[in-house]
Amino acid sequence: MATLVIRHHCNDPRLPSVLAGAGWAAAAGYTGVDDAPVLGSPSRPPDPAPGDLALVVVDHTTSPVEADALTAAVLDLGRRLPVLLVGPTVDVLPGLADAAAVTPGAWAPRHEIRLRPDPGVDPRRREDLLVTDRLLIAEKVSDGVEVLVTANIGFRDYPVVTWNSAAGLGAVLLGGDPALWRQREVLRLVRQVGLAAAGHADADDIRVAMVGYGAIGHEHALAVDAVPGLSLAAVSDLNPARLDLARSVAADVATYTDSDALIADASVDLVVVSTPPSSHADWALRALQAGKHVVLEKPMALTSAECDQVVGMAADLDRLVVVYQNRRFDPDYLVMRRLVSEGAIGELFHFESFVGGYGHPCNYWHSDAAVSGGAIFDWGSHFLDQVLDLMPGEISHVSATNHKRRWHDVTNADHSRVTLHYSDGREAEFIHSDLAAATKPKWLALGTSGAIRGDWRHEKVVARTAIGTLAEDVLAEADSPAAMSLHHADGSVTALAVPHAPEHAFHRELADHLLRDLPMTVQAAHSRRVVALMEAAEASAVAGSAPVRPA
């Protein structure tokens, strides 16, 4: 679904970049207009494709002549594709308010608003949507105009999104604050309204299958079951107990012991590959060849060449391939990312991340370097992805060290250090250790005007045994969000609240992308770059910490 964003005399310069960054971009062949007398002038936009949608954002005009010309152009556009009039548009262009058959009144104060979509617009939605914005109160909505979304204010329902099919125009009576459009749920809802207005039913659920059903496979299954738009169709595993566990999530799920047979299942749309890392590329290529979209566990593969092969095939076949970088959505990391993006510490120029402790590594494939890629690959797939998300830019070289000093019954290194050297002089370091009797902070971010620390927490779950005595379950440090603090240049420190993690955020984005063409936070190119860095780090460690430029 392509979207044409048209803004005219928009006073807030943030709005275009916010909309573009959220996936609202000009459709091919259309002309977005900024401060032009007539939309699309001098040539009229071409006929739209099915599902195309236009958003019009106008917050003031300079003359009645300009207002009339703009109104005429929008009405012309509405004869050929659905047009949603956003925010103050109907307030400043009375002609469009008349065409939308909505009489605007006063603006309500900025506050939290509970949006309630009509079930016919979004039958998959299971809960109201909370947003913080100003609502333009509609004094009247004419008969025959559909009210697609409402909000209850002062115990009275007010229209939030309306649709007048006779004019091909809808009104979205929100959007006074560009921050609203950063919310994926708002974008999804508006897309749904556009589809409903155009008479397009939402696509059927994406039928998901899983190759391998270990602990992470069960996590995927629970998320698929919970997210509207996804359904669990099939699972393959050699262990009958794991297949039984999958049936506890979805009783009618098809089960296989032959993963090739699962991939050949014509009813499957998407395959989640949650096998050990050394087999990721092979299973991804098989699934892509069978015409499936693919979600891979981290890391994408063990070499950048394998990643390029997978990404190239996905592009050739017009299929999605993406890696489950779930740590992008950890609540403590989201606090870190927000503060850095808001400039709370100035320019981030030095970043350190650490995970580990003192103890024997696990005895599963995670500790077998031939299967996992090694210690750098195992945890680096998470932490280096976060580093690159926080600190984008060209990396001139990587240096790394691997120590093998105590745990000789496994093949992973006991202690690993990776340093990223950026072309502009910035640096980032990642350490994973099973020899750290004393630990470092999870994160230390140094900026030109402050710093952020994330300190590991030592938490216990306290309960009673069956006979009433004390039972304590000590959590691994990595299972708790870090205690976050903002350190100011004057020496003061602010403890930061860490909100609850967004529930099933990756899988919600996955459904939104495949069903509604919304962008995903995680992209294959990001995960490929992580693999290239880890590959370079391993090469540097073998060469005695020599600098290696990532592929």
Helix and strand tally (H, E) in the chain? 15, 26
Are 357 and 223 contained in the same domain?
A: no
Calculate the CA 463 to chain-centre distance. Answer: 36
- Of the candidates 261, 289, 324, which is a domain's last residue? 324
In a domain, 549, yes or no: no
Are 188 and 270 contained in the same domain?
A: no
Are 366 and 491 contained in the same domain?
A: yes
Over residues 35-86, the pLDDT tens digits come to 333 333 333 445 566 667 777 888 877 788 888 888 888 888 788 778 888 8
Are 443 and 535 contained in the same domain?
A: yes
Are 317 and 379 contained in the same domain?
A: no
Are 372 and 244 contained in the same domain?
A: no
For 285, the 3-state DSSP assignment is helix
Phi-psi bin for 155: left (phi > 0), alpha (psi -120 to 50), beta? left
What span, in angstroms and rounded, lies between the C-alpha atoms of 110 and 107? 9
Residue 406: Cβ within 10 Å count: 12
pLDDT of residue 37: 33
- Backbone torsions φ then ψ of 334, nearest 5 degrees: -65, -35
For 65, the 3-state DSSP assignment is helix
pLDDT of residue 185: 77
Are 394 and 316 contained in the same domain?
A: no
- Of the candidates 197, 217, 250, which is a domain's last residue? 197
Mean pLDDT along residues 13-30? 54
In a domain, 139, yes or no: yes
What total of structural domains would you count in the chain?
A: 3
Per-residue tokens: 107: 């603006």
pLDDT band at 22 (very low <50, low <70, confident <90, very high): low
Are 101 and 25 contained in the same domain?
A: yes
Are 331 and 314 contained in the same domain?
A: no
Q: Can you give the residue range of the structural domain that contains 256?
A: 206-324
Alpha-helical (H) ranges within 255-374 are 259-263, 280-289, 304-317, 331-341, 369-372
Over residues 224-278, the pLDDT tens digits come to 999 989 999 999 999 999 999 999 999 999 999 999 999 999 999 999 999 999 9
SS3 content of the chain, % helix, strand, coil (to 5): 30, 30, 40
Calculate the CA 80 to chain-centre distance. Answer: 32
- Of the candidates 324, 345, 372, which is a domain's last residue? 324
**Lowest mean pLDDT segment, chosen from 41-50, 156-165, 267-276, 334-343:** 41-50
In a domain, 550, yes or no: no
The CATH code of the domain that includes 510 is: 3.30.360.10
Q: pTM for the complete prediction?
A: 0.84
In a domain, 297, yes or no: yes
Over residues 484-539, the pLDDT tens digits come to 999 999 999 999 999 888 889 999 999 988 987 778 899 999 999 999 999 999 99
List the one residue out of 520, 521, 546, 536 whose CA is nearest residue 304: 536
In a domain, 548, yes or no: no
In a domain, 551, yes or no: no
Are 216 and 351 contained in the same domain?
A: no
Mean pLDDT along residues 153-179? 87
The CATH code of the domain that includes 216 is: 3.40.50.720
Residue 69: Cβ within 10 Å count: 17
Are 348 and 486 contained in the same domain?
A: yes
Are 142 and 223 contained in the same domain?
A: no
In a domain, 114, yes or no: yes
C-alpha pair distances (Å), 541 with each of 302, 335, 403, 418, 442: 16, 32, 9, 9, 23
Residue 353: Cβ within 10 Å count: 25
The CATH code of the domain that includes 126 is: 3.40.50.880
In a domain, 531, yes or no: yes
